[in-house]
Structure 1
Amino acid sequence: MTSTGAPSSYTWQLPPVRTSTQATPPELAERRASMDSLPRPAHPGVDISDVRYGDVPCVVCAPPQARGTALYLHGGGYRLGSVALSTAFAARLAVATGARVVAADYRLAPEHPFPAAPHDAAQVYERLLSESDAPPVVLGDSAGGGLGAALVVACARSGVSVPGGLVLLSAWLDLRCAAGSYRSRAATDQLFSLDAARQAADQYLQGHPADDPLASPLLGDLDAFPPTLLCASTDEVLLDDSVAFGSALARAGVATSASYVPGVPHAWPSVFLDLPASAETLDVVARFVRPLLAKEPS
């Protein structure tokens, strides 16, 4: 694995990393093991390599003549998911956008509670900033979308250049888990639920306040946010997170685009890759991202 371990040149305004107070539930360990046993797919025309940015393992998906860089943060409620599982989607992102896509394997709860994930995202983002004159675009789905938005909050607080753009797919943006769509969409969302959200939030936060904008970026100061694309299903319990976040961005004067798609599952573009709706949303993402990438080849 290639390593890019340059020392930090920023003072990130993040809380210190904490020791976990919770054991890993056996059923969570079993779910991870079954997911991690799946083979990592190859993707024709995309160079896939393992790279370590500081302490964080990453997978890099580079199309021919890549232009610009995108950081991708996977979903999984901060307790599931990996770059191995996300490689197929990251490769498709690379082909669609033309960007070199770096997928980060940030630490998971409950073994690594908040703020381990923001620390890891910041470490990878800082290394990517050092590689180019232009900030990378950041993309994330579900919890990874929340982490991507939290990264922007951390950048703004720390005097670090914010991303060139932000793409949030079915993003989990408010860990208070109080949105009305948890109940109004309970019957149509087969992948996420209020109970699952509360359990995941408890395992991630472990007593840290849910209203901290680094955990719930919906509650943050959004004035410094870059152009943002929000995509969500009208059938998912996190619908209200995206709707509320888009409204807050608009009030802050941030250029905001939104795509709300009926009849699709939570995080459909990254989880259900072969759905026609996934291809359509990937095209929406690509048309948003391409103009935001650095003009010179990366």
Structure 2
Amino acid sequence: MAEALSSDAPAFERVRARIEAATSAWAAGLTLAEIRDSFEAFLGAGEGAPEVRRTPLTLAGLPACAFDAPGGDAPRVLLYCHGGGFQIGSIRSHAGLMARIALASGMRVIGFDYRLAPEHRFPAAHDDAFAVYRALVEAGETPLALVGDSAGGALALGTAVRARDAGLALPKALVLLSPWLDLTMSGESYTALAEKDIFSRPEQLKAMARTYLGRDTRPDDPAASPVKGDLSGLPSVLVHAGGHDITLDDSHLLARRAGEQSGRVEVEVFPGMCHHFQVFEELPEAAASLARIGAFLRAL
């Protein structure tokens, strides 16, 4: 049982109860389509920040949506890559979080729906993320930052690497929330924090990695696990992770490897927080994380 280390213990317990109810339902023999619908409803409940304007778009042939806060700076664009283990998640599931990032940063946030496994295995999600980024660059709207959570963190980092290699304009920063960057899952946090992370389980992520990669791609392939590749020449990176996050060692690995090659990585760990805690807006730590991210982005 995870400790309630949030500064708002009742809110933490409410979040824990919501997670337990949702994950019990997902484990009860639901189809993948039903799990996707349930995940959208679970994370997208209320969708937060109703004052943020939402505008449907199409980018690189994919459904997308722009989130604009009142008085926001629309020319300054953030491209958001949602998480979900490459199998679930969507604009809808992350709409509330993207809206709150738009409010915190005062910038336009663009999210998009990429192809999901098992219907579309590696490198479909990575290809889609890069295609959307390229479309924005070619339209003269190079994102100020690439932002991603969990598996979306791998898409954001991988997109920056591909943009560098393709000679495209780079964003000024990467902002990664509990990034899942190493599909080998070799970090100690995957076992040490397995009983403390109230949101994600190692066996769940291992299954998702196998489903996404299929039989033809090794989990240590840098194209799938970008933290294993060449990280030189990338922009500055801000990482926010939870102290009870099973992917925590991926953040530290990124800090070591990118720090050695580019020297511009900042990792902040929020004690007691689970994987991708920022989606739970009732947690004070989630608000604090987004406020600091907003300040970081405004300073770029």
Q: TM-score range by the shorter chain?
A: 0.7 to 0.9
* Residue of 255, 259, 278 corresponding to 1:250: 259
Aligned to 1:53: 59
Give the one of 124, 130, 135 matched to 1:116. 124
Amino acid at match of 1:246: A
Q: 1:46 and 1:133, CA in 2 relative to 1: closer, same or farther beyond 3 A?
A: closer
Structure 1 distance, partners of 2:226, 2:88, is 20
Structure 1 residue 42 displacement after superposition:
6.3
Counterpart among 195, 198, 202 of residue 187 in structure 1: 195
Task: Please list the CA deviations of residues 240-293 of structure 1 after superposition, one character each: whole Å capped at 9, or x if unmatched.
Answer: 000111111111133111111111121011x2112100000001111111122x
Q: Is the partner of 1:186 in helix, strand or coil?
A: coil
Instruction: Tell me, yes or no, if structure 1 residue 33 matches structure 2 residue 1.
Output: no
CA distance in 1 between partners of 2:299 and 2:50 (Å): 25
* Structure 1 unaligned residues grouped into runs of 5+: 1-24, 293-298
8 A contact 1:82–1:105 mirrored in 2: yes
Partner residue, 1:287: 295
* 1:226 and 2:235 are equivalent in the alignment: yes
Task: Give the Cα–Cα distance (whole angstroms) in 2 for the partners of residues 187 and 290 of structure 1.
Answer: 37
Report the equivalent of 1:98: 106
1:262 aligned partner: 271
Partner SS for 1:260: strand
Whole-Å separation in 2 of the counterparts to 1:84 and 1:223: 34
In angstroms, what is the RMSD of aligned CA positions?
1.7
Deviations 1:37-57 (A, max 9, x none): 566736343210110102111
The one-letter code sitting in structure 2 at the alignment partner of 1:31 is I
- Partner SS state of residue 83, structure 1: coil
Mark the CA change 1:133 to 1:76 in structure 2 (over 3 Å): closer, same or farther. closer
How many percent identity over aligned positions? 36
The within-5 A match list for 1:86-235 is 86-132=94-140, 134-207=142-215, 208-235=217-244
Distance of aligned partners of 1:277 and 1:36 in 2 relative to their CA distance in 1, 3 Å threshold: closer
TM-score normalized with structure 1 length: 0.85
In proportion to residue count, which structure has more helix? 2
Q: How many residues are aligned here? A: 267
Read off the aligned partner of 1:55 and give its amino acid letter: G
Q: How far did residue 65 of structure 1 move?
A: 3.8
